[in-house]
Structure 1
Amino acid sequence: MRTAYSVETVRTAERELMARLPEGALMQRAAAGLAAACAELLGRVYGSRVVLLIGSGDNGGDALYAGARLARRGAGVTAVLLAPERTHAGGLAALRRAGGTSAAPAAAERLIRRADLVVDGIVGIGGKGGLRPDAAPLAELAADSRAAVVAVDLPSGIEADTGEVLGAAVRADLTVTFGTHKPGLLIDPAREYAGSVRLVDIGLELPAEAELEALQHTDVAARLPVPGAASDKYRRGVVGIAAGSARYPGAAVLAVSGALRGGAGAVRYVGPAADAVIARFPETLVSGQGPARAGRVQAWVVGPGAGDDASAVAEVLAAEVPVLVDADGLRLADRDAVRARSAPTLMTPHAGEAAALLGVSREAVEGARLASVRELAGLYEATVLLKGATTLVADARGGAARVNSTGTAWLATAGSGDVLSGLAGSLLAAGLSALDAGSAAAYLHGLAGRFAADGAPAGAHDVAAAIPDAWRDVRD
């Protein structure tokens, strides 16, 4: 599992480690890892042209010491000093001893246009509010050049703790981060600025509970239900799907398709799209009597394509089993009814739906995704899965949120969210917690999207059909 920690936690761990190490040793560890990553990216260090963009923070020192290592291997290294009087003195001296040079910002355009590599050491993890006016043009020059751009610890200008981008920021091809990931490297929109991320271990001792978690294959595999010799369809769990309408029968079909591939033993459908569901999936158990009288289930999914059927949403929320609320169900669900539930509730909005629930603009949600998902989880006292290029899952009880980035832009297609709802609901019925069901479903759904698309457009039904491949890939 990848974990990310807040700036405050990282700084505390750094102080504790520095107290046990010789002076400057921690910076040398970071510089060695940074130089190695830069050399690997360059391929041929000797004769290459490297420009360091140096601010006044310690990551400027990291960049200068790394530059000195590259200079000793034959690279032509020039440091552009944005704050000469506050530049890390030891790092600058080391660079000059190794044969590197320094320059004023006025020379930056000429240097960057000729560079093979630009190293961003402008602002550290404590930077707030985007780049200053004197630094912003350098970020633009680097982005427009042919040079590869490497960010030190995180791209200058992004918010380390939240993933927000509140002004101009460096766009990196590679970010070399030290000790641990920072939340901003994993959360949109800042994640788009980080490029590939390489973690360098510098020996930090961090607390057990992180600010943010990102599941990997082994983590998901450990959470997926596996039937035993004594299992039958009821012991494996039955998931109820209350979805679809005369106008949107396909939403019911797609939710059922995701649920059938999600690990539960049976799927029970309730709603006006029964004929369409049975025609496509004859193994589905169909009831025409409403959720309250449909028969026993271990979890419910309500809302995809439901139109204005508030009664079905109310009946499902009154059930004493885990419930997933999506799409129209989010609009129709009574907040007090959700908050009053004793069984787990998982809500799965996209940014527009989350904005409507919070009473803010969609842009506000997309610009502050971590804060938005946590606020919504607290407001409804539920677990919330905020869909997007990176999916976030937060629990109302607090603790580490989870982020998933296995998806692909091809998943932005009609019905894809219905498949995700069915899949997550089935995992709820199989016994997973709301946090695990949401994050494991997002992971599998993202992988399935990649497998289904394979570089070309794919429909939601293709994504559902690829879930078994994603499941096997994770398990194997």
Structure 2
Amino acid sequence: MRTAYSVETVRTAERSLMARLPEGALMQRAAAGLAAACAQLLGRVYGSRVVLLVGSGDNGGDALYAGARLARRGAGVTAVLLAPDRTHPGGLAALRRAGGSVAGVGEAEELVQRADLVVDGIVGIGGKGGLRPDAARLAALSETSRAIVVAVDLPSGVEADSGEVRGAAVRADLTVTFGTHKPGLLIDPAREHAGSVRLVDIGLELPEKADLEALQHADVAALLPAPAAESDKYRRGVVGIAAGSARYPGAAVLAVAGALRGGAGAVRYVGPAGSAVIARFPETLVSDRGPAKAGRVQAWVVGPGAGDDAATVAEVLEADVPVLVDADGLRLADRETVRGRTAPTLMTPHAGEAAALLGVSREEVEGARLTAVRELAARYGATVLLKGSTTLVADPGGGPVRVNATGTPWLATAGSGDVLSGLAGSLLAARLSTRDAGSVAAYLHGLAGRYAANGAPAGAHDVANAIPQAWRDARGAASVRG
């Protein structure tokens, strides 16, 4: 599992480690990792042109020491100093001893345009808000140059703890981060600025509880339900789908499609789109008697394509089983009813729906996704899955937020969210927690989107059909193994 820690936690760990090491040793570890990454990108270090964008903090020192290592290997290294009087003295001396040179901000344009590689050491992980004017000009120059841009620890101008970008910021091709990932490297919009991310181990001792978690294949494989020899469809779990309307029957079909591929033993459908569902998926157990009389289920999905059917949403929320609320259900669900539920609830809004629930603009949610998902979880007393380019899953009691980035922009298509809801609901019925069901579903849904699209447009039904392939991939299997 990939983890990320806050600035405060990282700095505490750094102080603890520095107290046990010779002075400057920790920075030298970071600089060595940074220089190795830069050399690998350059391929041929000798004769290459490297420009260091150096601020007044430790990131500037890392860049200077790394630049000195590259200069000793024959690179032409120039440091552009944004704060000459507050530049890291040891790093600057090392660069000069290695044959590197120093320039002012006024000389930066020509240097950056001629560079093969630009190292961003302007602002450290404690930076807040956008870059100041001189730094913003350097960021813009690096973006328009032909040079490879490498950020030190975090692209300057993005916020480490929140992933927010409140002004001008560097866009890197590679970010070399030290000790641990920072939340901003995993969450959009900051993640878009980081490029590829390389983690350099510098020996930090970090607490077990992280601020952010990102599942990987092995984590997902460990959580996926698997039938035992004595399993039947009821032991595997039954998920109920209360979705669709005369106007949106397809939402019901797509939610059922996701649910049938999510690990539960059976799917019950309740709603006005029964004929469409049974025509496409004859294995579905269809009822027209309402959720309370549909038969026993281990979890419900309510809301996709529901229109204004508030009565069905309210009836499902009364059930003493886990409930996933999506789409129209989010608009129709009463907040106090959700808060008062004794069984777990999983809400799955996109940014626009989250904005409506929070009473803010969509832009505000998209710019501060981590804040938004935590606030929604706290307000509703529910686990919240905030959909987007990086999907976030937050529990109401706090704890590490799960982040997922397995998807593709091609998933931004009508009905894709309905498939995700069905998939997550099925995992709930298979007895995963709301947090695990949401994060595993997001992971598989993202992989399925990649497989379905394969570089071309794909419909939501294609995504549903690709879920088994994603499931096998996560398990590390080319085919079903019993």
What TM-score does the superposition give when structure 2 sets the normalisation length?
0.99
Distance in 1, Cα, partners of 2:277 & 2:419: 14
Alpha-carbon distance in structure 1 between the residues aligned to 2:43 and 2:283: 56
Aligned to 1:351: 351
Identity %: 86
* Partner SS for 1:135: helix
Distance 1:349 1:459 in 2: 20
The residue aligned with 2:341 is: 341
Match in the other structure for 1:136:
136
User: Within 2, Cα distance between the matches of 1:113 and 1:365?
Assistant: 36
* Deviation for aligned residue 1:356: 0.3
Q: Write the deviation string for residues 197-228 of structure 1: whole angstroms up to 9, x where unpaired.
A: 00000000000000000000000000000100
Aligned counterpart, 1:416: 416
Whole-angstrom distance in 2 between the partners of 1:76 and 1:89: 20
Rounded Cα–Cα distance in structure 2 between residues aligned with 1:178 and 1:198: 9
Map 1:36-435 to 2 at 5 A: 36-435=36-435
3-state DSSP of counterpart to 2:176: strand
Deviation at 1:43, TM superposition (A): 1.0
Q: Which runs of 5+ in 1 are unaligned?
A: none
- Tell me the SS of whatever aligns to 1:438: helix
Aligned residues: 476
Which deviates further from its counterpart, 436-445 or 39-48? 39-48
Superposed CA RMSD in Å reads 0.4
The Cα shift of 1:241 comes to 0.1
SS in 1 for 2:133: coil
Paired position in structure 2 for 1:467: 467
| AA at the equivalent of 1:189 | P
Gaps of 5+ in 2: 477-482
Which amino acid in structure 2 is aligned with residue 245 of structure 1? S
Q: Following the alignment from structure 1 to structure 2, what is the Cα–Cα distance between the partners of residues 82 and 243?
A: 58
Q: Secondary structure at the match of 2:92?
A: helix
How far off its partner does 1:473 sit?
A: 0.2
| Aligned counterparts of 1:27 and 1:3: Cα–Cα separation in 2 | 22
Q: Deviations over 1:73-124 (max 9, x none)?
A: 1100000000000000000110111110010011000100000000000000
For 1:295 and 1:337, the matched residues in 2 are separated by 23
Cα distance in 2, alignment partners of residues 114 and 134 from structure 1: 19
Q: Secondary structure at the match of 1:180?
A: coil
Name the aligned partner's letter for residue 221 of structure 2.
A
Aligned AA for 2:19?
Answer: A
In structure 2, give the amino acid aligned to 1:454: N
Amino acid at match of 1:458: A
**What is the alpha-carbon distance in structure 2 between the residues aligned to residue 102 and residue 258 of structure 1?**
59
Letter in 2 for 1:347: M
Amino acid paired to 2:204: L
SS at match of 2:69: helix
1:133 CA displacement = 1.1
CA distance in 2, matches of 1:190, 1:47: 33
Amino acid at match of 1:230: E
Shift in Å, 1:19 = 0.1
Alpha-carbon distance, 1:130 to partner: 1.1
* Cα distance in 2 for residues equivalent to 1:92 and 1:473: 49
1:134: Cα distance to partner?
1.4
Cross-structure match for 2:480? none
Aligned-partner SS, 2:177: strand
SS of 1:247 mapped into structure 2 = coil
User: Partners in 1 of 2:415 and 2:43 — Cα distance?
Assistant: 44
Per the alignment, in what secondary structure is the counterpart of residue 255 of structure 2?
helix
Match of 2:479 in 1: none
Written as runs of structure 1 = structure 2, the 5 A alignment for 1:416-455 is: 416-455=416-455
Shift of 1:431: 0.4
Amino acid at match of 1:437: A
Instruction: Report the residue type matching 1:284 in the other structure.
Output: T
Which whole-Å deviations, capped at 9, do the CAs of 1:229-251 have from their partners, x for residues lacking one?
01000000000000000000000
Offset from partner CA, 1:390-441 (integer Å, 9 cap, x none):
0000000100001000000000000000000000000000000000000000
C-alpha distance in structure 2 between counterparts of 1:446 and 1:201, whole Å: 29
> Does the residue aligned with 2:267 lie in a helix, a strand or coil?
strand
**4+ runs deviating over 6 angstroms:** none
TM-score of the aligned structures, taking structure 1 as reference length? 1.00
SS at match of 1:324: strand
Determine the structure 2 residue equivalent to 1:27. 27
